């Protein structure tokens, strides 16, 4: 089974998802914690808010999603203590150092997230105790309703995008998507263990995949049925999905406020929709905004964030889904051009969908099953990733794109990638007064590790195919077949 390069449509939706998440986070933070109606309506990126940000700067929602994304890109995801520790280490690093934040400071962290990170840190000195805690955490605690904040949903998108090209080309995409969603739930439980938070991710994940895989192209199709049964990918049994949900989630779906609460002239839906930090209300509000967006990313975004209160997170939850549905080009250009790290966010979406999965049943390339076609498919995945790097981070015309196939060895490829990225970031720093290199330094370190990981994967794949004794030979054969 082999991974395929993502289609242009899939890439555009993934880019839209990451940019949509961040841009609505940045729109919403201007009125975060403000009561609805107490502020001039948000129509543009204007910064300010409780953290006094610059226009286009995003908050913890996007920073944590980026931290997740780079863990996924670096080492993939399995629901095991090793990967869980990598994820929580990345969150802790963001909390400690501000990595992934647009101003290199962690200026806001949710209570549930910080509590989970403190418990995790308490296990730092004893690996077996730490791993046991991580395994228990991923199993969840269905009755712990207190930990049902929207910090679960705000950072889940990268887990859904990861390996989506493999999902799209799997023999049974719906079942493959279900496995990815279940793995995303496991990751979410590390910070938010409740059944309510888990079920919200299941519902949301299904909608994201309906949009991402191109099954649905309008919001109405992603909404629950008249009886509240949530959107289900073609080929799955909706009644089984309904039966799996806990009562509070069923009740929200069946009440249908996301459909029936009509926005008035100012966009106010009345009391039926609130933008609280409770994940069920945040999801309901994001669904309401999408349902009344009339096909416009911008309209839905302003409906979401002008609810006030937890505006940035409701915005992020709406923006990730709406950006995936409508695609990057549907997000207003003026917003994209002002958004911090917009090119990085878009590229991350593209890289995530192209990465191989560690789950063999998703249609993956694993170290265990790297077989007859693995080298060819991995080369395409690596090509796609580096193509994105060169296009996004080479200022101006830049150095010509050199495919991995053009290198004489994997060592040469890694050395060249490192050198080009370093040069590109240095040029960006020169070109932009006040340029904050913190995030890019972190990206550089991550990609250096990514190049080493790619090299190791390629070499493993080539070893599994003794007839192809060199990278160059494998590439030549792949291109001629």
Q: Which of 107, 69, 61, 62 is nearest to 87 (CA)?
A: 69
Judge whether 141 is annotated as a binding position: no
Least distance between Mg ion and beta carbon 312 (Å) = 4
Distance CA 459, CA 161 (A): 26
Q: How far is the CB of 50 from Mg ion (least distance, A)?
A: 10
- Nearest-angstrom CA–CA distance, 256 and 263: 14
Residues 59-98 touching Mg ion, rule: CB under 5 A, are 59-61
Q: Report the nearest approach of Mg ion to the CB of residue 32 (Å).
A: 7
In the complex, the smallest distance separating the C-beta of residue 256 from Mg ion, rounded to whole angstroms, is 28
Task: Confirm or reject binding of residue 454 to Mg ion (CB under 5 A).
Answer: no
CB of 66 to Mg ion, least distance (A): 13
- Does the annotation place 441 within a ligand binding site? no
| Integer angstrom CA distances of residue 460 from 166, 418, 479, 481 | 20, 21, 20, 21
Q: Which residues pair with 53 in a beta bridge?
A: 48
Tokens of 439: 């995030």
In whole angstroms, how close is the CB of 42 to Mg ion at the nearest point? 15
- CB closer to Mg ion, 6 vs 102: 102
Quick one: 60 or 376, whose CB is closer to Mg ion?
60
Among 186, 199, 284, 312, binds Mg ion (CB under 5 A): 312
Contact window for Mg ion (CB under 5 A) among 130-138, 203-211, 216-224, 309-317: 309-317
112 labeled binding residue: no
Of 170 and 201, the one with the shorter C-beta distance to Mg ion is: 201
Nearer to Mg ion, 61 or 186 (CB): 61
Is 469 annotated as ligand-binding? Answer: no
* Residue 199 is labelled as binding a ligand: no
Please provide the DSSP assignment of 240-288 as one string. Answer: HHHHHS-HHHHHHHHH-HHHH----TTS---TT----SBHHHHHHHHHH
CB of 28 to Mg ion, least distance (A): 8
The rounded distance, in Å, linking the Cα atoms of 455 and 433 is: 36
Nearer to Mg ion, 60 or 359 (CB): 60
Taking the C-alpha atoms of residue 268 and residue 262, their distance in angstroms, rounded to an integer, is 8
Q: Are 363 and 174 in contact (CB under 8 A)?
A: no
In the complex with Mg ion, which residue's Cβ is closer, 439 or 478?
A: 439
Least Å from the CB of residue 59 to Mg ion = 3
Distances in whole angstroms, Cα of residue 97 to Cα of each of 16, 91, 93: 28, 10, 6
Q: Which is nearer to Mg ion, 59 or 324 (CB)?
A: 59
Residues, the chain: 481
**Per-residue binder mask for Mg ion (CB under 5 A), 339-378, x = binder:** ----------------------------------------
Nearest to 183 by CA among 210, 164, 169: 164
Closest residue (Cβ) to Mg ion?
Answer: 59
Dihedral angle sign, alpha carbons of residues 57, 336, 276, 178: negative
Rounded to the nearest whole angstrom, what is the least distance from the CB of residue 186 to Mg ion in the complex?
A: 23
Has 59 been labeled as part of a binding site? yes
Total chain residues near Mg ion (CB under 5 A): 4
- Angstrom distance (rounded) from CA 437 to CA 137: 35
The Cα 321–Cα 212 span in angstroms is: 9
Query: Tokens 């090509």 map to which residue?
Result: 383
Q: Which of residues 33-62 bind Mg ion (CB under 5 A)?
A: 59-61
Indicate the burial class of 430 (C-beta count within 10 angstroms; 0-12, 13-18, 19 or more).
Answer: exposed
Candidates 377, 439, 478; CA nearest to 67 is: 439
CA torsion sign for 290, 292, 295, 300 is: negative
32 vs 284 by CB, closer to Mg ion: 32
Q: Tell me the per-residue interface mask from 132 to 171 with Mg ion, x by CB under 5 A, - otherwise.
A: ----------------------------------------
Select the span of 111-119, 282-290, 306-314, 362-370 touching Mg ion (CB under 5 A): 306-314
Q: 61 vs 350, which CB is nearer to Mg ion?
A: 61
In sequence order, the β-bridge partners of residue 149 are: 278
Region binding Mg ion by CB under 5 A among candidate stretches 98-106, 260-268, 298-306, 307-315: 307-315
Please state, in angstroms and as integers, the Cα–Cα distance from residue 172 to each residue in 14, 205, 373, following that order. Answer: 20, 17, 19
Annotated binding site: 59-61, 310, 312-313
Annotated binding site for Mg(2+): 59-61, 310, 312-313
Residues in the site for Mg ion, rule: CB under 5 A?
59-61, 312
């Amino acid at each position: 089974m082999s991974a395929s390069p993502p289609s242009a449509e899939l890439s555009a939706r993934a880019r839209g998802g990451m940019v949509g998440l961040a841009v609505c986070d940045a729109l919403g933070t201007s009125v975060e914690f403000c009561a609805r109606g107490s502020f001039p309506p948000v129509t543009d990126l204007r910064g300010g808010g409780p953290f006094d940000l610059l226009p286009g700067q995003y908050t913890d929602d996007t920073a944590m999603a980026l931290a997740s994304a780079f863990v996924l890109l670096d080492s993939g995801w399995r629901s095991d203590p090793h990967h869980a520790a990598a994820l929580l280490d990345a969150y802790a690093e963001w909390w400690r150092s501000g990595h992934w934040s647009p101003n290199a400071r962690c200026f806001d962290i949710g209570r549930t997230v910080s509590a989970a990170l403190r418990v995790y840190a308490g296990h730092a000195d004893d690996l077996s105790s730490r791993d046991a805690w991580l395994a228990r955490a991923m199993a969840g605690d269905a009755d712990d309703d207190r930990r049902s904040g929207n910090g679960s949903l705000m950072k889940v998108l990268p887990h859904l995008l990861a390996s989506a090209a493999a999902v799209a080309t799997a023999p049974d995409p719906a079942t493959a998507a279900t496995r990815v969603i279940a793995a995303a739930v496991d990751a979410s439980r590390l910070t938010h263990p409740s059944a309510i938070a888990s079920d919200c991710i299941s519902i949301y994940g299904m909608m994201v995949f309906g949009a991402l895989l191109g099954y649905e192209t309008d919001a109405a199709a992603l909404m629950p049925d008249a009886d509240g049964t949530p959107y289900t990918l073609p080929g799955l049994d909706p009644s089984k999905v309904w039966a799996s949900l806990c009562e509070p989630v069923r009740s929200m779906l069946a009440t249908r406020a996301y459909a029936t609460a009509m926005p008035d002239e100012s966009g106010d839906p009345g009391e039926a929709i609130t933008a609280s930090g409770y994940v069920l209300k945040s999801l309901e509000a994001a669904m309401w905004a999408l349902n009344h967006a009339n096909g416009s990313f911008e309209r839905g975004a302003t409906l979401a964030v002008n609810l006030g209160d937890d505006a940035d997170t409701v915005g992020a939850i709406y923006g990730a889904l709406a950006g995936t549905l409508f695609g990057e080009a549907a997000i207003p250009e003026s917003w994209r051009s002002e958004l911090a790290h917009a090119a990085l966010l878009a590229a991350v979406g593209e890289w995530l969908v192209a990465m191989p999965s560690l789950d063999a049943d998703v249609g993956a390339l694993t170290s265990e099953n790297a077989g007859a076609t693995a080298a060819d498919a991995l080369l395409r995945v690596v090509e796609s990733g580096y193509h994105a790097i060169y296009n996004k981070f080479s200022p101006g015309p830049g150095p010509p794109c050199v495919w991995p196939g053009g290198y004489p060895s994997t060592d040469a490829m890694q050395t060249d990638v490192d050198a080009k990225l370093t040069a590109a970031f240095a040029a960006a720093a020169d070109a932009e007064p006040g340029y904050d290199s913190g995030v890019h330094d972190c990206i550089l370190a991550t990609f250096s590790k990514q190049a080493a990981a790619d090299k190791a994967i390629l070499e493993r794949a080539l070893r599994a195919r003794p007839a192809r004794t060199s990278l160059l030979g494998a590439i030549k054969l792949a291109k001629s077949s």
